[in-house]
Structure 1
Amino acid sequence: MSNIKNLQLSEQDITEILLPWSLDNPTVKPTNQGTVNTTFFVEAPVQGKFVFKIYDDTTTTAQINYEHLLLEHLQSCHLSFAVPTPVPSNSGETLITINKNDKILRVALLPFISGQTAECENILHIGAAGSALGELHNALAKFDTYSKLSQLPTWGNLENIHHLVAPLEVPRILGLEYSQKQRIIKSLTELIEVAPDLYKTLPIQTTHADYLCPNVLISENRVVGILDFEFATYDLRLLDYVAALDHFTRPPKQVPKKERIEAFSAGYAKHLSLSQLEIEELTLTWRLQQASCIVYWTGWFIEKKVTHQNVLDGVIKMLQLEDWLKENTTFLT
């Protein structure tokens, strides 16, 4: 297959690729969004608005099919917000493989969901995002309950989350200064050792694994849509929670804001309560989540998907959080 980021497609090309959906006189324009896949806005006078997605080669077909099955499940759960369940083509398929200009493409058509991107500095948005995640987790818990379908490794398995990176090689790959190197190696070594116990004792279920502001759509201070389930997998529920908590409560280059944590947690609790053991292991799991990001982003750095500075900023963020957690364990528990 081809590298879609280097793919040049005209509006006429996209219109021809859309033929399996029989849209009437569609207009097409790029979304200029997303770091992995290529997407276009599509509007047809009769059928309405859609998002057309061309999947990147790094995503396996099995993972795409898993994502589509998950979205169909969520559609059946009658959630208070929308999810982008793929639109079946004329043949009934949601994933189409097509040869265009001697390039093999895997494509899907998704409904357009109207709403504004959630704002991390808006306390009402933070509370709404927490509430929606609690509702989402309840629905996700009923999908693939024995992990027979999931394709991606668990994010807490640091030694297997990116095939190009051994965790303890991260400092060397990034060329970290001595003090950072020592702290990162110490933290990674500890987390690799304790992670298996977390997976033995904490609740595991299907998770979103990319619950960020760009993937949460808001209208009138409530969540109306949740997007991008391409990283969904069977994992620690708490890992998904702290990943979202980190994103929604930490301003750039700063530590978490307590009032944001309280808003997000209160929203989540409207639908779901963390277990006592999850509360006790929250700080450790938060550290594990940050470490998984560093290892994965280092792989992306090797693949030239992010810059060296992007990953270095993540390292600083991880170490900053570890210092903050030592001082605020009581607040979190």
Structure 2
Amino acid sequence: METIVSKIWPKWDGTLEKRSGGWNNTTYIVSGNGRKGVLRIYDTHRDRGKIEFEHAVLLELRKLSLPFGTPLPVQAVDGATLVQLEERGGKFACLFRYMEGDSPTEQDTGYYESFGMAAGQLSAVLAGIDPVLKPVYRPYYELCQAYPLCTEETVRELCHNPPEALGDLKAELNSLYQAYVNIADSLKELETLPHQLVHGDLNASNLLVDTEDHSRVAALLDFEFCTYDLRAMDAAVILSGLLGLQEEQRIVREFCLGFSRSVTLTEDELTAIPTLMLLRKVDVFLHFASRYLEGTDGAEVLQEQTRMLAADLIQLSAGTADILDILREEQNKVGRG
């Protein structure tokens, strides 16, 4: 990999340190010549259009004066921001400038108001960005088009007659199938809600907090799934990830307080939040089911995800109403102000 960097980004030639984690990409920290960057190898697709759209959005964001950082792709010697590596089976790679900050730990719970503010500010500016290029990723509510391997028949068969490796998870798979069926009946009506560019995958693993002050979000990361979708989707994605946390209600309120300073959702959007939170969970299930069906992941990955997502559905059922109440309260405070 060092040879690849020295050839394609010669000014960034240096040592590479592989980072752990990540389902879709392999990343390395590149250090040398007084520079530091992050090399990303896209492992799960070879779709140039997806990456070009992501980079177009990031380059537009860098023109703005935002109170938090966003990734900045580095141009290669040919002026492009991505390269195809024939020696790596045609996978695409890109280099980003390194951003200072820490990944939050489970013990860090004081940054959620700042996270809400950053997410709201990002949503507000994404509404005005035109990257010119056409997005490749489908909106969340286009499940059938986004996951062609997961037809209704295939999902039903996988959940009702699972392979031996998933045989101990029949109850969990059945609950996920019911969620899939339930959400399918609501998809059409979602199309009428306000649309704009959204990040699509905002969560604690896709942000950095200030090294000196873990209550402040320093950067928002991983715009890989940015696309044209429902404006309320980013809030729903984040809120769906807060269920089950210790001090859940405080954390949810602090997030909603920060978010509501920049974004005022319509009544129809607020009413749709529980459906959108469920849609996020079903989407994640179909994502990993597709990876299993196409052979990208072994059964153990889908086993782990099935257990977690089935548990999430229980928490959704128990906690969504309270979350919606808190979001309404914070939105109304801004409206009255």
Fold conserved between structures, TM > 0.5: yes
- Secondary structure class of the residue paired with 1:160: helix
1:56-113, Cα deviation, whole Å (9 max, x unpaired): 2524111011111011011112211111110112221111224337x43422111011
C-alpha distance in 1 between matches for 2:173 and 2:24: 29
- Of residues 302, 311, 314 in structure 2, which corresponds to 1:316? 311
Task: Report the Cα offset of residue 321 of structure 1.
Answer: 1.0
User: In structure 2, what is the equivalent of residue 40 of structure 1?
Assistant: 28
User: In structure 1, what is the equivalent of residue 165 of structure 2?
Assistant: none
Query: Is the aligned partner of 1:136 residue 2:122?
Result: yes
Letter in structure 2 aligned against 1:155: Y
User: In structure 1, what is the equivalent of residue 335 of structure 2?
Assistant: none
- Of residues 214, 226, 231 in structure 1, which corresponds to 2:220? 226
TM-score for the superposition, normalised by structure 1: 0.84
The alpha-carbon distance between structure 1 residues 160 and 323, as it changes in their structure 2 partners (threshold 3 A), is farther
Task: Report the Cα offset of residue 257 of structure 1.
Answer: 1.8
User: In structure 1, what is the equivalent of residue 275 of structure 2?
Assistant: 284
C-alpha distance in 2 between matches for 1:57 and 1:187: 26
Report if the CA contact (8 A) 1:53-1:108 is conserved: yes
Report if the CA contact (8 A) 1:38-1:55 is conserved: yes
User: In structure 2, what is the equivalent of residue 294 of structure 1?
Assistant: 285
Structure 1 segments of 4 or more deviating over 6 A?
Answer: none
Query: Is the aligned partner of 1:166 residue 2:151?
Result: yes
User: In structure 2, what is the equivalent of residue 203 of structure 1?
Assistant: 194
- RMSD, aligned CA: 2.6
Letter in structure 2 aligned against 1:131: M
1:1-333 aligned within 5 A:
13-23=1-11, 25-46=13-34, 48-100=35-87, 103-119=89-105, 122-144=108-130, 149-167=134-152, 169-174=154-159, 175=162, 177=170, 181=174, 184-200=176-192, 202-219=193-210, 220=213, 221-251=215-245, 257-302=248-293, 303-305=295-297, 306-325=301-320, 330=325, 333=328
Letter in structure 2 aligned against 1:242: A
Report if the CA contact (8 A) 2:12-2:30 is conserved: no
C-alpha distance in 2 between matches for 1:233 and 1:42: 29
- Secondary structure class of the residue paired with 1:149: coil
User: In structure 2, what is the equivalent of residue 9 of structure 1?
Assistant: none
C-alpha distance in 2 between matches for 1:118 and 1:168: 40
- Secondary structure class of the residue paired with 1:18: helix
C-alpha distance in 2 between matches for 1:120 and 1:156: 30
C-alpha distance in 1 between matches for 2:240 and 2:195: 20
Task: Report the Cα offset of residue 44 of structure 1.
Answer: 1.7
Report if the CA contact (8 A) 1:212-1:247 is conserved: yes
The alpha-carbon distance between structure 1 residues 304 and 188, as it changes in their structure 2 partners (threshold 3 A), is same
C-alpha distance in 2 between matches for 1:106 and 1:209: 21
The alpha-carbon distance between structure 1 residues 246 and 187, as it changes in their structure 2 partners (threshold 3 A), is closer
C-alpha distance in 2 between matches for 1:87 and 1:168: 44
- Secondary structure class of the residue paired with 1:65: helix
C-alpha distance in 1 between matches for 2:289 and 2:276: 20
- Secondary structure class of the residue paired with 2:65: coil
Task: Report the Cα offset of residue 209 of structure 1.
Answer: 1.1
- Secondary structure class of the residue paired with 2:29: strand
- Secondary structure class of the residue paired with 2:292: helix
Task: Report the Cα offset of residue 20 of structure 1.
Answer: 2.4
Structure 1 unaligned residues grouped into runs of 5+:
1-12
The alpha-carbon distance between structure 1 residues 131 and 167, as it changes in their structure 2 partners (threshold 3 A), is farther
User: Percent identical across equivalent pairs?
Assistant: 23
- Secondary structure class of the residue paired with 1:50: strand
Report if the CA contact (8 A) 2:45-2:91 is conserved: no
TM-score for the superposition, normalised by structure 2: 0.83
More displaced, 119-128 or 308-317? 119-128
C-alpha distance in 1 between matches for 2:206 and 2:236: 16
- Secondary structure class of the residue paired with 1:298: helix
